[in-house]
Structure 1
Amino acid sequence: MMSQINLYYPLWKRYLPVFAIQLKKALSEEQEINFTKSDFHNLGNRNKSDYSFSLEIENGKVKNNISGSAVARDLYDLLISDAKTKELLQGNHFKFSLGKAYILKIVSLKANNV
């Protein structure tokens, strides 16, 4: 299944500068990034299923099981491969979640449970 590797990289890479800004902002309030179905559809092969996922990152490490989600794995790989976003992930605890409406929510879990 070599074709499955980093299928969503182009999409996440386009938004990398946005992620850096949103991660900073998420420390004080929940952030949302709106995507469209075609953003994922054009890359993915999940015609009838949705792309929902939840990705929890604490101190730069994944805290939940994302092995079944290529979308989440690619997002994580890209975030930690970029110096700016990797630095923001260190020492923080974020949750990224994408729902059926294609809205990616970024929440700082550290701020919420101090």
Structure 2
Amino acid sequence: MIETNLYYPLWKRYLPVFAIQLKKALSEEQEINFTKSDFHSLGNRNKSDYGFSLELENGKAKNNISGSAVARDLYEVLLNDAKIKELLQGKHYKISMGKAYILKIVAIVKPEAE
């Protein structure tokens, strides 16, 4: 049996932080430090890491996140929050996390046509 929404509690707890970091990311890359135990207490990945990449444009995932429960749960939690959903509209972000458990939020700004 596949468990779903394992990471909801973690992502929901950080919603206020995400709102602030998404705004700040418009001017510079933002980072949120997590610990291994944040994920191990919730997840079931014994030997693999929890790294993922989630690219959002206008609130929609641009890349395939179906293989990552961590990314899927983050995406769903973000879109279920009205304030965050509003922040995502008209913008392009890349949210990623590597083996060091540092979540990075980068706003991808397209150069304006002159």
Q: TM-score, normalised by structure 1?
A: 0.95
Query: Which residue pairs with 2:41 in the alignment?
Result: 42
The yes-or-no answer on 1:101 pairing with 2:100 is yes
Query: Which residue pairs with 2:21 in the alignment?
Result: 22
Query: Which residue pairs with 1:84 in the alignment?
Result: 83
The Cα of 1:41 is off from its aligned counterpart by 0.3
2: distance between equivalents of 1:43 and 1:9? 9
2: distance between equivalents of 1:85 and 1:25? 13
Structure 2 spans left out of the alignment, 5+ residues: none
Percent identity, aligned pairs only, is: 81
Structure with greater helix percent = 1
The Cα of 1:12 is off from its aligned counterpart by 0.4
1: distance between equivalents of 2:83 and 2:76? 13
The yes-or-no answer on 1:10 pairing with 2:9 is yes
Query: Which residue pairs with 1:64 in the alignment?
Result: 63
2: distance between equivalents of 1:61 and 1:47? 30
Based on CA coordinates, which of the two structures has the bigger radius of gyration?
Answer: 2
The Cα of 1:38 is off from its aligned counterpart by 0.2
- CA RMSD across the alignment: 0.8
2: distance between equivalents of 1:38 and 1:109? 30
The Cα of 1:75 is off from its aligned counterpart by 0.2
The Cα of 1:56 is off from its aligned counterpart by 0.2
Q: Deviations over 1:15-65 (max 9, x none)?
A: 000000000000110000000000000000001100000000000100001
Q: How many residues were matched structurally?
A: 111
- What SS does structure 2 have at the residue aligned with 1:57? strand
1: distance between equivalents of 2:50 and 2:22? 21
